[in-house]
């Protein structure tokens, strides 16, 4: 395929991770050194920045700061939760994007996000094809939820998993310290897929983890939960650590957080219920049932932004995924997402970068296989441990100044025509 | 003073920290190599282990595991919250301790804890003096609250402060990411002293911290809080991060967590109210007042056990404090706590190890000086930054195996007579 000459734009979307900026660094540094891409733009707040013609000229950034993006959590360009309409119903946004792309001669569009973002990517790509505007559209995956289909795992997951496992080990040490009963309920992010909650099983594998783990893949039964807890509490002499996904729900689809929680149940713009309070609801239940001190711990935002405890494997893969997106696009690929394929080299874990159709990943949700969960539905087996261990290998942390992380500081110079 | 020959016992008490085991390593390794101390015992769950004659023979531990204690959070021997009675009213426990000390020829008693533990230490010491039993009693400080008097700072504080500051920086990045309003209330431990909440000011100093910080040292006024927040929210274009101590209370002494919280308000065995929910109460208030998405984040146990993000300065000082306690005791000191004195060497921060009377620290609470808090009562000034920065210098983390911390595993061989 002939070389397409034109400018590139990159955007970040959805919930932040510890490594979404590593992918940004991969895309931006690779695009900046690519001959057929004269200018590289960074969209402020993802697709919204494109719609509002607000984007930054990435060539104006200090290369050292771009390097620091690798170890800076969250989305340096700003993120967004904005769902594009079905173009057959309302193509206003698409026409606007086309207008902006034409105005700035944008021929490469890189979008970094989860399944909702791959849907955005897919819709934009299909529209550009339909109107005959030559633009290569590439998705770069990211999600701590690890629920994108067609990829072995997702950038951002391993770092969140490493943090969750590490913190669980530490909390275990802390919670076990008194000679009195202690029940601790840990709440981990994950609406429909329990990959991140499953990471607490890595702490259990190290002998310091939860006694019971509940994923949203299986219907949550309160009576069984209470029975499970009473049994484990007794077996462990009054010590009990339970990990639950924020998204556990009963067989009727009712979230456990709705059981007794008085927390707001507003919906975000994608229509997902705002979850939270699952651990507190369960801790209250156990307090009554076991008549002992209970504590609910939500890992909250900490689990998705703990760049100080990131997986080096994850950071490097996320960076490479960004680079590969540019390389594949320049070579002629469009309408695809860069994905990870698990492989082996010299008997060790090795990651291949492959391409999958955007249409195949948009709005998908990959769950933890039932065979990886124990028969009782209260823990993970060796399949999961073998899957997760290579991903959390290696320690990445930001450079330190005065005892604290030095995160990237971008100038964010607004691009002009 | 003549050399006192006899066995030593060490105990850990009160809430865990990331470095209480570093002090344990200091005491134990130093005592094990001290000629006049034939045997070294570790009390299971502090003073309770002594009362119940349940302690471990530390010579049976693998020296490599004792070394790993330096980077293992919480209390490896188990902790306790047990308040000894006033010996004039009930000397049962003291007589029992004397009996056990005599039986095992214990002549050195090292106790690692906060102000309640120093009170325990002081009472035991005074009792032994009264009955004429020659036993050297030494306190080793520890508390993330940093509220012990007569010492510049406390082992455990700096590591908790480093974690709180790091996590606050990360949460700031995460919370700022969307182009929609976002209010985040961070809750930090600290009943009456705001030292740890003040550590969020280190993130503010780095440009990524809370806009407002509330310490328990000043009476909390809800109307002023709401006005402060509205102003800062407006000034920061709908972004607001607030840090509060769990222990903030109004001018009548009522905890803010009691305002709207339905959480249990049980008392622990020292009579302290069980706090929690302060951030949630305030987030709910702000949700109503600002009519925007709010999030409450409790650092919970994570802040006191995050050994993966400990201060190297803290770990080394905590270890040395343990060593010094043994050395001072062997040299003839009793009835004292090892304390830190801030000094300078070659223009840099330097820590001297000094001795303070147990009676002077027992049950004291040192608060953050009013002059270190800004006039509005919503932040810390440079005095605090200068105080805290040297303490969080250097990174300590446990050795890693398979991507996760390798914490110490003690054999805990029960000691016999």
Q: CA angle, B407 as apex, B402 and B413 as ends, to 5°?
A: 130
CA–CA min distance B2, chain A (Å): 38
Q: Which is the catalytic residue, given A145, A147, A228, A314?
A: A145
User: CB neighbours of B222 closer than 8 A, spacing ≥ 6?
Assistant: B250, B256, B259, B285
Q: Which residues of B touch A407 (CB under 8 A)?
A: 169, 173, 208
Residue in the block written with tokens 């669980």: A168
| Residue A257, pLDDT score | 86
d(CA B293, CA B283): 9
Using pLDDT thresholds of 50, 70 and 90, give the confidence band for residue B160.
Answer: very high
What SS3 state is found at B113? strand
| Residue A49, pLDDT score | 97
Using pLDDT thresholds of 50, 70 and 90, give the confidence band for residue B277.
Answer: confident
Contact yes or no for A404 and B306 at CB 8 A: no
Contact yes or no for B73 and A202 at CB 8 A: no
B132: left (phi over 0), alpha (psi -120 to 50) or beta: left
Q: Is the torsion defined by CA of B156, B162, B166, B172 positive or negative?
A: positive
Contact yes or no for B298 and A297 at CB 8 A: yes
Q: Which residues of A touch B169 (CB under 8 A)?
A: 404-405, 407
Percent of chain B exceeding pLDDT 90 equals: 89
Using pLDDT thresholds of 50, 70 and 90, give the confidence band for residue B2.
Answer: low
| Residue B264, pLDDT score | 35
Least trusted range by pLDDT, from A210-224, B61-75, B355-369: B355-369
> Average pLDDT for residues B97-108, to the nearest whole number?
98
d(CA B334, CA B338): 11
In a mutational test of the B interface, the residue from A382, A404, A407 whose CB has the highest number of chain B CBs within 10 Å is A404
Contact yes or no for A170 and B48 at CB 8 A: no
Q: Is the pLDDT of residue B266 over 60?
A: no
Q: Which is the catalytic residue, given B93, B116, B145, B228?
A: B145
Q: Which residues of A touch B287 (CB under 8 A)?
A: 264
| Residue B3, pLDDT score | 86
| Residue B258, pLDDT score | 84
**What rounded mean pLDDT belongs to chain B?**
94
Cα atoms found within 13 Å of the Cα of residue B374, Cβ hemisphere only: 14
Helix axes B312-330, B20-32, angle to 10 degrees: 40
CA–CA min distance A395, chain B (Å): 7
| Residue A273, pLDDT score | 43
Residues A93-103: tens digit of each pLDDT: 999 999 999 99
Candidates A14, A46, A34, A255; CA nearest to A113 is A14
**What rounded mean pLDDT belongs to chain A?**
94
> Average pLDDT for residues B222-242, to the nearest whole number?
97
**CB neighbours (10 Å) of residue B304?**
28
Contact yes or no for A16 and B311 at CB 8 A: no
| Residue A259, pLDDT score | 81
Q: Which residues of A touch B81 (CB under 8 A)?
A: 178
Least CB-CB distance to B392: which of A74, A81, A403?
Answer: A403
> B179 vs A328, which has greater pLDDT?
A328
Contact yes or no for A177 and B304 at CB 8 A: no
Nearest CA in chain A to B397: A309
Contact yes or no for B170 and A298 at CB 8 A: no
Q: Is the pLDDT of residue B268 over 80?
A: no
**A163, two tokens:** 């943090």
In a mutational test of the A interface, the residue from B24, B153, B179 whose CB has the highest number of chain A CBs within 10 Å is B179
**CB neighbours (10 Å) of residue B263?**
18
Q: Is the pLDDT of residue B415 over 80?
A: yes
**A327, two tokens:** 């390389």
> A257 vs A399, which has greater pLDDT?
A399
Question: Residues A241, A209: contact at Cβ < 8 Å?
Answer: yes
Contact yes or no for B404 and A169 at CB 8 A: yes
CA–CA min distance B331, chain A (Å): 32
Percent of chain A exceeding pLDDT 90 equals: 89
| Residue B257, pLDDT score | 86
**CB neighbours (10 Å) of residue B347?**
6
> Average pLDDT for residues B138-143, to the nearest whole number?
96
| Residue B45, pLDDT score | 96
d(CA A64, CA A157): 26
Percent of chain B exceeding pLDDT 70 equals: 95
Concerning whether B145 is annotated as a catalytic residue, the answer is yes
CA–CA min distance B8, chain A (Å): 22
> Average pLDDT for residues B349-360, to the nearest whole number?
97
Question: Residues A205, A213: contact at Cβ < 8 Å?
Answer: no
| Residue B260, pLDDT score | 62
Using pLDDT thresholds of 50, 70 and 90, give the confidence band for residue B337.
Answer: very high
CA–CA min distance B390, chain A (Å): 8
Helix axes A157-175, A312-330, angle to 10 degrees: 170
Provide DSSP, A122-181.
HHHHHHHHHHT---EEEEEE--TT---TTSSS-TTHHHHHHHHHHHHHHHHHHHT-SSS-
Using pLDDT thresholds of 50, 70 and 90, give the confidence band for residue B270.
Answer: very low
Helix axes A278-290, A222-235, angle to 10 degrees: 60
Q: Is the pLDDT of residue B127 over 80?
A: yes
Contact yes or no for B179 and A78 at CB 8 A: yes
d(CA B52, CA B66): 24
Q: CB contacts < 8 Å between A and B, how many?
A: 164
> Average pLDDT for residues A144-167, to the nearest whole number?
97
Contact yes or no for B297 and A297 at CB 8 A: no
Least CB-CB distance to B169: which of A165, A166, A404?
Answer: A404
Phi first, then psi: give them for residue B156, nearest 5 degrees: 100, -30
> Average pLDDT for residues A73-78, to the nearest whole number?
96
Residues B290-323: tens digit of each pLDDT: 999 999 999 999 999 999 999 999 999 999 999 9
Contact yes or no for B389 and A395 at CB 8 A: no
Q: Is the pLDDT of residue A262 over 70?
A: no
Set out the domains of chain A in order of their start, with CATH numbers: 7-143+307-363+395-405 (3.40.50.450), 157-305 (3.40.50.460)
CA–CA min distance A231, chain B (Å): 24
Using pLDDT thresholds of 50, 70 and 90, give the confidence band for residue A417.
Answer: confident
Least CB-CB distance to A73: which of B75, B80, B174?
Answer: B174
Q: Is the pLDDT of residue A114 over 80?
A: yes
Q: Which residues of A touch B303 (CB under 8 A)?
A: none
> Average pLDDT for residues A140-155, to the nearest whole number?
96
Nearest CA in chain B to A77: B177
Q: Is the pLDDT of residue A364 over 80?
A: yes
Using pLDDT thresholds of 50, 70 and 90, give the confidence band for residue B275.
Answer: very low
């Amino acid at each position: 395929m002939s070389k397409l000459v034109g400018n590139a734009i990159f955007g970040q979307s959805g919930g932040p991770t510890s490594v979404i900026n590593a992918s940004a660094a991969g895309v931006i540094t690779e695009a900046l050194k690519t001959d057929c891409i004269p200018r590289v733009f960074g969209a402020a707040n993802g697709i919204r920045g494109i719609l509002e013609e607000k984007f930054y000229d990435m060539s104006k950034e200090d290369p050292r700061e771009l390097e620091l993006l690798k170890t800076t959590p969250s989305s340096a360009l700003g993120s967004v939760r904005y769902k594009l309409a079905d173009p057959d119903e309302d193509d206003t946004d698409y026409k606007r994007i086309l207008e902006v792309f034409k105005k700035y001669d944008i021929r490469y569009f890189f979008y970094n996000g989860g399944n909702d973002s791959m849907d955005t990517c897919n819709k934009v790509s299909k529209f550009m094809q339909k109107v005959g505007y030559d633009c290569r559209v590439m998705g770069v995956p990211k999600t701590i939820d690890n629920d994108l289909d067609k990829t072995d795992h997702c950038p951002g997951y391993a770092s969140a998993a490493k943090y969750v496992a590490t913190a669980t080990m530490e909390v275990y040490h802390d919670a076990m310290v008194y000679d009195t009963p202690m029940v601790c309920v840990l709440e981990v992010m994950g609406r429909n897929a329990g990959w991140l909650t499953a990471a607490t099983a890595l702490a259990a594998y190290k002998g310091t983890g939860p006694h019971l783990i509940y994923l949203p893949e299986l219907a949550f039964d309160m009576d069984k939960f209470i029975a499970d807890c009473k049994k484990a509490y007794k077996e462990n002499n009054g010590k009990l650590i339970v990990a639950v996904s924020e998204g556990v729900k009963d067989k009727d689809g009712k979230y456990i957080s709705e059981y007794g929680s008085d927390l707001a149940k507003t919906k975000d713009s994608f229509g997902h219920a705002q979850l939270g309070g699952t651990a507190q609801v369960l801790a209250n239940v156990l307090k009554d049932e076991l008549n002992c001190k209970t504590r609910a711990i939500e890992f909250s935002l900490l689990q998705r932004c703990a760049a100080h405890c990131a997986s080096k494997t994850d950071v490097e893969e996320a960076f490479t995924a960004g680079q590969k997106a540019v390389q594949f696009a320049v070579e002629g690929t469009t309408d695809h997402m860069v994905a990870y394929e698990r492989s082996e080299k010299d008997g060790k874990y090795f990651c291949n970068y492959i391409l999958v159709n955007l249409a195949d990943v948009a709005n998908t949700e990959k769950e933890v296989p039932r065979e990886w969960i124990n028969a009782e539905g209260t823990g993970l087996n060796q399949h999961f441990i073998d899957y997760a261990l290579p991903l959390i290998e290696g320690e990445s942390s930001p450079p330190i100044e005065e005892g604290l992380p030095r995160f990237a500081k971008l100038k964010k110079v607004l691009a002009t025509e």
